[in-house]
């Protein structure tokens, strides 16, 4: 991996901004850029999947092509389909008092947008905001994760084949480079990562009053209501939790289920493991934990729970030596962990699923609203009134009802957190608007009543009475 020196970043930003000021990308240029980016990525999906698998130790190529391939291709298609309509000035009412003036909002490019992307979906979470910034007419500075160096090198090579360096620049390195990017006088910054690091990014960006889109994390709950079938709930939660071995910011972090069905729910989850992964003798379809530090963090959660006498139920068995060697952490359920355990305070970001019993829906909702607002919420119920009750009491970044993860894949829905789980949103129109300045413009007519709004005011008593009506 070619590392960028933090001291070089101001010059890189200057190159990007100078080129943008000299010639702002036209709509034709933006469409051509998006078309070439899509074609380049589609041609190299196998190479992308191989790079990601090498960085993780193992990740199924199908998962990478779905999560890091299809998501980007779909997002680019959506941007291209709507770009010209979104770019048109939007007529808005000026109000009768300003008649016959007319008003509009005119989407204008900001300049240089920086993207600091994470390791868990290293292509999607880099290229979707990058493509959105390009669609909005900006130049881009991308800092991909140092924890996926092969994928970051792939991204650098891919983007160099599509864009000139004065339009898109990729900088690589560790925390020092990310901190230096956060401190630049950018026109917008998109950061995806933990809440703790998000606070630091926000503090650094405040020096230059850089506007931010912060995509953070948190503890995203699932509520399985009494009317919802266990087998279907378990299957859909298993997909959401074990895809990428739970290393997903919107993965179900914990499940709340009625106490009568809690044990049966765990048994159905165990059956899901057998159906999906067999006995883990090869585990080709199961992703490994990204690095040793993350693996030990997750093992620490389980050790703490066991020390406290909390039931820890691995849903499969693998040899300890193999597990450590491969960073293979099998799906594991923790029953009714208390709030003071670390796994109930931190975002888990792994295949550990706390399953807590609740006596009634009021108790489940009280559990959720006592915490920070989550990035995602997953209510499971076929009763519309019950779902509406949940949605009316829990404010989350996004919701999928009776399934998991899929609101992220809906290109027309904004994606973003609230409170500790994030700030701002992107995807589709929301991202285009966030990375544009919606410039308010008022067009005055040849004749206007404002021509009369001047002293001596004694002559406009009638007009003033009308305006104050």
- For tokens 């956060």, the residue is 182
Catalytic residue list contains 179: no
Q: Which of 54, 215, 326, 347 is catalytic?
A: 215
Is-contact 130 140, C-beta < 8 A?
A: yes
Sheet of strand 422-423, all strands in order from the earlier edge strand to the far edge: 168-170, 139-143, 112-116, 188-192, 212-215, 422-423
For residue 177, what are its two tokens?
Answer: 């480079």
What is the end-to-end Cα distance of the chain in Å, rounded? 68
Using CA atoms, how far apart are residues 126 and 121, in angstroms rounded to an integer?
8
Question: Backbone dihedral region of 360: left (phi > 0), alpha (psi from -120 to 50 degrees) or beta?
Answer: beta
What are the strands, taking DSSP E only, across 28-151? 90-92, 102-109, 112-116, 139-143
Angle between helices 45-56 and 27-43 (to 10 degrees): 70
CB-based contacts of 337, cutoff 8 Å, min separation 6: 305, 310, 343, 344, 354, 356
Which residues carry out catalysis? 215
């Amino acid at each position: 991996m070619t590392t960028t020196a933090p001291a070089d970043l101001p010059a890189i930003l200057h190159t990007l901004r100078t080129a943008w000021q000299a010639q702002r990308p036209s709509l034709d240029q933006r469409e051509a850029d998006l078309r070439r980016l899509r074609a380049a990525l589609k041609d190299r999906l196998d190479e992308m999947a191989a790079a990601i698998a090498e960085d993780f130790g193992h990740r199924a190529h199908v998962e990478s092509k779905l999560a890091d391939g299809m998501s980007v291709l779909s997002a680019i298609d959506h941007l291209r389909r709507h770009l010209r309509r979104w770019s048109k000035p939007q007529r808005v009412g000026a109000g009768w008092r300003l008649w016959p003036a007319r008003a509009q909002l005119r989407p204008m490019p900001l300049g240089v947008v920086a993207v600091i992307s994470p390791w868990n979906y290293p292509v999607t979470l880099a290229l979707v905001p990058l493509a959105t910034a390009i669609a909005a007419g900006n130049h881009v500075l991308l800092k991909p994760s140092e924890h996926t160096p092969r994928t970051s090198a792939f991204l650098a090579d891919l983007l160099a084949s599509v864009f000139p360096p004065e339009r898109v620049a990729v900088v690589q390195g560790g925390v020092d480079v990310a901190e230096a990017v956060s401190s630049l006088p950018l026109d917008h910054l998109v950061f995806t990562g933990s809440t703790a690091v998000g606070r630091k990014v926000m503090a650094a960006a405040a020096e230059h009053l850089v506007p931010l889109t912060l995509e953070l994390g948190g503890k995203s709950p699932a509520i399985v209501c009494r009317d919802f079938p266990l087998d279907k709930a378990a299957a859909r939660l298993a997909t959401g939790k074990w895809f990428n071995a739970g290393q997903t910011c919107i993965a179900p972090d914990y499940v709340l289920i009625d106490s009568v069905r809690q044990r049966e729910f765990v048994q159905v989850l165990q059956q899901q493991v057998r159906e999906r992964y067999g006995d883990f003798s090869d585990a080709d379809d199961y992703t490994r934990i990204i690095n040793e530090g993350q693996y030990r963090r997750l093992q620490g959660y389980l050790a703490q729970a066991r020390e406290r006498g909390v039931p820890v139920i691995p849903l499969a068995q693998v040899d300890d030596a193999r597990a450590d060697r491969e960073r293979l952490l099998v799906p594991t359920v923790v029953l009714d962990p208390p709030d003071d355990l670390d796994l109930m305070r931190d975002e888990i970001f792994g295949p550990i699923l706390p399953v807590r019993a609740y006596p009634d829906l009021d108790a489940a909702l009280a559990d959720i609203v006592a915490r920070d607002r989550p990035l995602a919420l997953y209510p499971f119920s076929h009763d519309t009134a019950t779902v509406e009750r949940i949605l009316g009491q829990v404010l989350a970044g996004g919701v999928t009802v009776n399934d998991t993860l899929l609101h992220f894949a809906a290109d027309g829905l904004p994606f973003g957190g609230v409170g500790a789980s994030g700030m701002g949103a992107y995807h589709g129109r929301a991202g285009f608007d966030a990375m544009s300045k919606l410039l308010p413009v008022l067009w005055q007519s040849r004749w206007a009543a404002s021509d009369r709004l001047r002293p001596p005011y004694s002559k406009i008593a009638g007009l003033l009475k009308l305006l104050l009506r």
